[in-house]
Structure 1
Amino acid sequence: MKEIFLHVGAPLVGAGALQDALWHAASALPEHGVCYPLRNPHEHFAATMDLREMAWGGRRDPAWDGAWDRVAERVRDWDGRMAVFSHELLGGASKVQAERAVASLGPGRVHVVFTARDLARQLAADWQEQIKHQHTVTFDRFVDDLVTKGIEAPAPFGEMFWGLHDPVRVLETWGAVVPPEQVHVVTAPQGPAAGEVLWRRFAELVDIPPELCDIAAVRDEPVLGFVEAELLRLLNGQIGPSLGRRYEPLVRRHLANKVLSARPGKIEIVVPARHHAWLRDRSEELVEGLRAAGYHIVGDLDDLLPDLDERPVVDAVEPAAVTAAAIELMHMLLNDLAAARQRAQIAELKRELAQVRQQLSRVASTVSAKPSPLRRAAGRLGGGGRG
């Protein structure tokens, strides 16, 4: 029976790196009997939007219509031993949507995979991700609301966090559609090698040789420090809404993911100390819930217990640190502007030189096409002699 693995989350737990790894290895996977049913690296997003009937950024692309069925058809038509599909927003599917997904992929045995890490890192990662999407909520308010109000925290944070990052809640929906032994939780360890370990655990689960893809060559989610995230949050309050669709390329992709994330000496974003007791209790609840559900665990459930004692807590960012970061950012952007102008001037000079070459070429062609005076005189003499 064909094995079909659906990776449904969580966001920010190596999902982008896993998807890049699968995409980079896509040409080699069929030799190992594995189908990664995408025609381009963005099709998994379109298929997920279609399955969940979602809009994104206030709009819905008509090209998404039918995207899930197209992907599912490729899985059904695959006659190899296995197929893999990954998108972290699948975790928020309703029971009806999950049932449709599983039914559309058959015949085969569908497995659900959830990659998980501890709540402390997830809270910090999700807050900065929200800041990269133009939000202005402070880290204190973000965490306070999620702790005290749960999924009822102000939109979109409560539903986006607990509806996608809580493995017990997410897998309760998917676990109602497939047997518990076909639900797999892959834990992400702590430490600098977490990404590589997570990929190897995932590859082992889906029976893909991990060396098919150089995990070091795929993208890691850029990480902001506390100062950089706070600067971006303040910037959002001033200019975020005015940029419209330009926010994505200018602020998120360039300013946040390239410039700010590259600053050295970043201060780690850590949940305030007043919530540490709650974090430990909630994490133990999640671990016990996963263990009681009977899911297959790849890794160690202790990976989901936050190590708070070894992480220094910064309760607030000093305004002077934000000011210094802003000045440094202005300097970097001015240098970028100067370099861009220089490139533009060079490009303009190249265009002018190309125009001159074209003009010289046309002149040369005209000259060569017209007979010279000497050639015309010779022609007349030659013509008279023949007459």
Structure 2
Amino acid sequence: MSTEKQIFLHIGAPLVGAGALQEALWHSGPVLAAHGVCYPLEGPHQHFAATMDLREMSWGGHRDPAWNGVWDRVAERVREWEGDRVVLSHELLGGATEAQARRAVESLGPGEVHIVFTARDLARQMAADWQEHVKHEHTVTFDQFVDDLVMKGIEAPEPFGEMFWGLHDPVRVLGAWGAAVPRGRVHVITAPRRERGGGGLWRRFAELAGIAPEWCDLAAVREQDPLGLAEAELVRRLNERLGTSLGGDYEPLVRRHVANTLLTGREGAEGHAEIVVPVRHHPWMRTRSREMVEGLEAAGYDVVGDLAELMPEFGGAVPAEPVDAPVLTGVAIEVIEALLRDLAKSRQRTQIAEINHELAQVREQLSRLSAAPAARSSVMRRAAGRLRGPGGGARG
């Protein structure tokens, strides 16, 4: 191993273990630091702000002034680290231009910068990317989404073409980043086939970066479970009805609670119909994937895993028929039931909080009137009336 400080910069792809990897690094930060490994963030989401700053991007049509200068501050902590390794990760870094990639690498030195790209086959990535767009208020159907990506490539309607081919195609992404470092320092980690949870991908990354298994809690390394076809279609149709009416409430209510909690965690969700690329595109998908693998082999990048894992497998997955009304209704009823139960629990918590607030007021008044028995008796009678509520019945 080189005596020079090694800096592992993970640049994507989205939806291939990035979130789980970042969670593991953040929560294990102090332990990693004790072993000479720096995860150079001051807050759990600072890598996003740094990426927006480096790429000079807006997000959702908004450019936060607080992002300005964040990349340089993170890079400064990397330069100042006296240990032997640094790890930094954000899945949107892959979309950087060649000039931005060079600036990033130069800003992190002195040190031996390594570029890491985690990859999965295009068929699974298209399914994952579509449902992620659906969880961000989009209404495009899966068939239309795939048709556009296949036939129009990066020119597919915004933001789908640029977001997919500009971030998920390792040959394209590493063309920019590979120009900033020697080819031997570009690493492609392939995602193990048929794996749920991301543990295998994490172990490949950790071995590359020199992170011992005992330094991180692998039980916490888990990707967000995917939606099934019916679940994703329910969210898509909900988006059609909602439009932009929820504003900023969409993120916590629909994406995080309905999609990522209720729909992925509902009973029987593991047996849901998988989202599979339409059969008419299977030949194209195999050809395009073969070209991608050949491009990576020709580039001479270091491969952790097996490039054969980037070839799609369609043998055991049959594209589902369009979701029919009974199936969609069944999923919708389960979600409505869960939402009503959540609402009932919320109301109970509110009532308990109100009662506790009233009791606190009573205790405060009693403490002030402890020397006046007659006044204390009057306060007790008023408090008892409030707690009984309308009609004289006890509240609770």
Determine if the TM-score, normalized by the shorter chain, exceeds 0.5. yes
Q: Distance in 2 between matches of 1:107 and 1:362?
A: 67
In structure 2, the partner of 1:198 is 201
In structure 2, the partner of 1:168 is 171
1:102 aligns with 2:105: yes
| Equivalent position SS for 1:76 | helix
* Pairwise CA RMSD: 1.3
* Shift, 1:233, TM fit: 0.3
- Residues 337-367 of structure 1: CA deviation (Å, up to 9, x unaligned): 1121111111111111111111111112667
Please tell me the residue identity of whatever aligns with 1:357.
Answer: R
In structure 2, the partner of 1:62 is 65
Q: Do 1:8 and 1:114's aligned partners in 2 also have CA atoms closer than 8 Å?
A: yes
| Equivalent position SS for 2:234 | helix
Instruction: Give the TM-score normalised by the residue count of structure 1.
Output: 0.92
Please tell me the residue identity of whatever aligns with 1:210.
Answer: P
Q: Distance in 1 between matches of 2:12 and 2:150?
A: 21
Please tell me the residue identity of whatever aligns with 1:249.
Answer: P
In structure 2, the partner of 1:371 is none
Distance 1:44 1:364, change over 3 A: same
Please tell me the residue identity of whatever aligns with 2:171.
Answer: V
Q: Distance in 1 between matches of 2:61 and 2:222?
A: 27
Of 214-223 and 49-58, deviating more is 214-223
In structure 1, the partner of 2:244 is 241
Gaps of 5+ in 1: 368-387
Please tell me the residue identity of whatever aligns with 1:270.
Answer: V
In structure 2, the partner of 1:251 is 254
In structure 1, the partner of 2:345 is 339
- Residues 277-313 of structure 1: CA deviation (Å, up to 9, x unaligned): 1111111111111011000000111111111101122
1:348 aligns with 2:351: no
In structure 2, the partner of 1:207 is 210
In structure 2, the partner of 1:7 is 10
| Equivalent position SS for 1:40 | coil
Of 211-220 and 38-47, deviating more is 211-220
In structure 2, the partner of 1:22 is 25
| Equivalent position SS for 1:228 | helix
In structure 2, the partner of 1:188 is 191
Which structure has the larger Rg?
Answer: 1
Q: Distance in 2 between matches of 1:92 and 1:192?
A: 26
| Equivalent position SS for 1:186 | strand
| Equivalent position SS for 2:193 | coil
1:271 aligns with 2:274: no
Q: Do 1:272 and 1:315's aligned partners in 2 also have CA atoms closer than 8 Å?
A: no
* Shift, 1:192, TM fit: 3.0
Gaps of 5+ in 2: 374-396
In structure 2, the partner of 1:286 is 292
Instruction: Give the TM-score normalised by the residue count of structure 2.
Output: 0.90
Please tell me the residue identity of whatever aligns with 2:365.
Answer: Q
1:361 aligns with 2:343: no
In structure 2, the partner of 1:374 is none
| Equivalent position SS for 1:54 | coil
Please tell me the residue identity of whatever aligns with 2:309.
Answer: D
TM superposition outliers: structure 1 runs of 4+ over 2 Å: none
In structure 1, the partner of 2:319 is 313
Q: Distance in 1 between matches of 2:225 and 2:231?
A: 12
- Residues 6-58 of structure 1: CA deviation (Å, up to 9, x unaligned): 10000000000010111111101122211110111111111001101111111
* Shift, 1:253, TM fit: 0.8
In structure 1, the partner of 2:154 is 151
* Shift, 1:245, TM fit: 0.9
Please tell me the residue identity of whatever aligns with 2:320.
Answer: V
Please tell me the residue identity of whatever aligns with 2:176.
Answer: T
Q: Do 1:17 and 1:215's aligned partners in 2 also have CA atoms closer than 8 Å?
A: no
Please tell me the residue identity of whatever aligns with 1:224.
Answer: L
Of 46-55 and 209-218, deviating more is 209-218
- Residues 71-109 of structure 1: CA deviation (Å, up to 9, x unaligned): 000001111111110000000001111111011001111
Q: Do 1:240 and 1:247's aligned partners in 2 also have CA atoms closer than 8 Å?
A: no
Q: Distance in 1 between matches of 2:368 and 2:194?
A: 66
Quick one: which of 135, 140, 154 aligns to 2:138? 135
Q: Distance in 2 between matches of 1:366 and 1:49?
A: 65
Distance 1:218 1:197, change over 3 A: closer
Quick one: which of 311, 327, 333 aligns to 2:333? 327
In structure 1, the partner of 2:52 is 49
| Equivalent position SS for 1:47 | helix
Distance 1:206 1:365, change over 3 A: farther
Of 55-64 and 89-98, deviating more is 55-64
In structure 2, the partner of 1:303 is 309
| Identity score, percent | 66
